[in-house]
Structure formats: C-alpha cells, structure tokens
Amino acid sequence: MFTTLTPAASPLPSLDLFAAIETLKRDLNAVILAHYYQEPDIQDVADYIGDSLGLSRQAAATSADVIVFAGVHFMAETAKILNPDKLVLLPDLNAGCSLADSCPPDAFAAFKAKHPDHLVISYINCTAAIKAMSDIICTSSNAVSIVQQLPADQKIIFAPDRNLGRYVMQQTGRDMVLWQGSCMVHETFSEKKLVQLQGAHPQAEVIAHPECEEMVLRHAHFVGSTTALLNYAQQSASREFIVVTEPGIIHQMQKQAPDKVFIPAPPTATCACNECPHMRLNTLEKLYLAMKNRQPEIILDPKVQQEALKPIQRMLELSGS
C-alpha cells in the first residue's frame, strides 16, 4: 500500500511515507517497535511487532540509538525506563490507556499502605509512578507463571486489571488483593452477541485476551496474550476463529495464516469501540513526523525512572530473559 502525506495534512509536499521512514530509520539508527493494535500501515513498517513482554525484551536488547514506539504511553515509558540514555519517541503523546488511568498513584499508595505485608505485582499496563511502587511487573503472557514462582504463603496485591487478576487467581488457585481497574476495550465485548456469533459459526474457535470479563472468557477455547493468540491461531487445526481482543491483531493473523478466517468479536454497542481509541491515535503520518522532528519524546522524572527499573528487571529475570 502506498501512503502519502498530502499538502492538506502537512506543509510538506506529497511523499512516500514508507520510503521516507526507511531513510529516517537509517539516518537516526532507529528501531520501530509496534504493538499489534496499531493500524496495518504501522505494523508493516515496524522492525518488530509483539505483545508487551516481547516489546519489553526488544527494548531491553536493542542497540539502536532511537526507539520509535508505536504503541501507548506506558509501553514507551517502559522502553525509556530500560533505556534512560536513548531517545524514545511516541508518535502521539496523547496515546494513553484507560487501564493505566484507572490506577492513580495517590490512591494506589493509600491502597498499598493498607496491605503492608503484601508484595505488589503490577500489570505492565500502568504508569511509571505505579511501577515505581511495585515489586514485580508482569504482562498477560507471564502473569500466571510469575505468581506460581512465588512462595505459597506470599500475600499479593495485583494491580491494576481486575480481569487479568481474577484470571490469574483462577489459574493459580491463589488468593490476591485486586485493584479494581479495567480496560475500556476488553470490557466492551458482548457475551450475548458472542454466543450468537458462535451459533452462526459453529466450527470457529473463540480466542480471547485475559483482560476480558469472566462471562466472555468462559466461552473461550483459548485465552492468552496477543502473541499467544496469534501463535495459537497459526498452530490450531481449526480454520475459523472468533477473536475477542482489539481487532488490530487480525492484520497479523491474516498475514501469518492467509487461508484461515478471523472474525472480530462484536462490542455491546453499535460502534467501533472494540478498537482501542488510544492505540489508534498513532498514524503513519505522525510516526514519520516524530522521526523527522525527533519528538514527541518520552521524558520521565529521574527518580521514578530509576525506581521503576527494578520491578521491570525482576519481571525479565522471572520470564527467563
């Protein structure tokens, strides 16, 4: 696909954005890391596309001077925490996350103070300030394994996603104190419409992200992180899948398994609210401009940045990297 930046969108003349981004990548010694929920053009120009754990591992290992993070703010923050001396760019600084927003630092500090003997495990979908108050960070792909590695009598606070927390409790048989946050996208799926869709596609497997509510997850044949869903869809003998996560990932599913059919699960309302409005703020044009202008840049409070590093490193150690 040939995407141009027209004079109406910018004072710049029309330009082949894919070629211009490739040139800037070489000039800046930059790497483009993208999440699966980004628009297809961004996924196609990225050096690496992955889930939050894969993206963190790539950020920790890169030798590039500049990291262009095509995802949301907490992901770019994580890359910056792992690379305090590198330039980390986010195409749109307003690309936030409802889940991260559902856990304000002051309220979380008071919550934590009520449970002084608890270890704090925070899902990576939180701000750097929350990470700095945490003992271990986890993602949807390693949360179960990290909790299983802790002593059975260890008391745990799990924040901020109540749905992932409940799922981890079910999988591990552990009790945890849950912060009551959630993702606006994954809570939008309709159980009723999902069941109707299954009726219309009886051969389809339902694959779902653990940020979904329990009433939706109980219809799933497989639950996992975005990368796990992608791998499952490729390896499964089934030819049809109902995908219960942000539909941006279907671009990669179709690329990697072109002979299979992927049906996005419908939201409750008649809207496109199964698309993450935060992730979709990034565009190929904004990505190009961020590289050209070397901004917007992620800048963090140095103390928060330093304190947030330890729990991320702990996660990487506990995840075998």
Residue numbers of the site for ligand 13P (CB under 6 A)?
A: 51-52, 125, 139-140, 183, 209, 211, 225-226
Residues 71/38, Cβ–Cβ less than 8 Å: yes
Residues 168/123, Cβ–Cβ less than 8 Å: no
246, 284, 305, 319: which one contacts ligand SF4 (CB under 6 A)? 246
Partner whose binding site includes residue 184, from ligand SF4, ligand 13P, none (CB under 5 to 8 Å by kind)? ligand SF4
C-alpha 251/C-alpha 230 separation (Å) is 10
Measured from the CB atom, the residue of 187 and 205 that comes closer to ligand SF4 is: 187
Of 169, 166, 216, 171, the residue nearest 194 (C-alpha): 216
C-alpha 153/C-alpha 105 separation (Å) is 27
Crossing angle (nearest 10°) for helices 302-318 and 73-82 = 90
Residues 135/120, Cβ–Cβ less than 8 Å: yes
Partner whose binding site includes residue 127, from ligand SF4, ligand 13P, none (CB under 5 to 8 Å by kind)? none
Partner whose binding site includes residue 83, from ligand SF4, ligand 13P, none (CB under 5 to 8 Å by kind)? none
Partner whose binding site includes residue 278, from ligand SF4, ligand 13P, none (CB under 5 to 8 Å by kind)? ligand SF4
Token pair, residue 309, equals 């590093």
Paired residues of 138 in beta bridges: 123
Biggest CA–CA distance in the chain, Å, is: 63
Token pair, residue 86, equals 């590198």
Q: How far is the CB of 35 from ligand SF4 (least distance, A)?
A: 8
- Provide the 8-state DSSP code for 243: E
Please tell me whether residue 51 binds ligand SF4 under the rule CB under 6 A: no
142 Cα distance to chain centroid: 13
Interaction with ligand SF4 in 152-191: which residues (CB under 6 A)?
A: 183-186
Q: How far is the CB of 186 from ligand SF4 (least distance, A)?
A: 6
Q: How far is the CB of 140 from ligand 13P (least distance, A)?
A: 4
- Which span (11-19, 40-48, 264-272, 274-282) binds ligand SF4, by CB under 6 A? 274-282
Measured from the CB atom, the residue of 39 and 51 that comes closer to ligand 13P is: 51
Interaction with ligand SF4 in 85-114: which residues (CB under 6 A)?
A: 97-99
Residue numbers of the site for ligand SF4 (CB under 6 A)?
A: 72, 97-99, 125, 183-186, 246, 276, 278-279
